[in-house]
Amino acid sequence: MNQLTDDCLSQQALLELAADLGSDCPFFIDAQPTLMSGRGEVLHSLAPELADCLRGRPVILFKPEFGIHTAWAYRQLIQAQPAGYEPEAQATERLEQFRETRSTDSLLFNSFEAVVGKKYLAIHCLLNELRARGIRCLMSGSGSCCFALPKDEAETDSIRSICHNALGSGIFFIETSIR
Question: What residues have CB less than 8 Å from 179, skipping those under 6 apart?
Answer: 31, 32, 55
Compute and round to an integer the Cα radius of gyration of the chain: 17
Residue spans of the domains in the chain: they are 1-45, 56-177
| Phi, psi at 77, each rounded to 5° | -65, -45
pLDDT of residue 20: 87
Task: Kindly report the average pLDDT of the chain as a whole number.
Answer: 90
Question: What residues have CB less than 8 Å from 16, skipping those under 6 apart?
Answer: none
pLDDT of residue 38: 73
Query: Regarding the domain delimited by 56-177, which CATH topology (the fold level of the hierarchy) does it fall under?
Result: Alpha-Beta Plaits (3.30.70)
pLDDT in tens, 100-138: 998 888 788 898 999 999 999 999 999 999 999 999 999
Helix, strand, coil percentages in the chain from 3-state DSSP, rounded to 5: 50, 15, 35
Spatial contact of 39 and 24, defined as CB atoms under 8 Å apart: yes
Asked if pLDDT for residue 60 goes beyond 90, the answer is yes
Rounded Cα distance between 93 and 106, Å, is 9
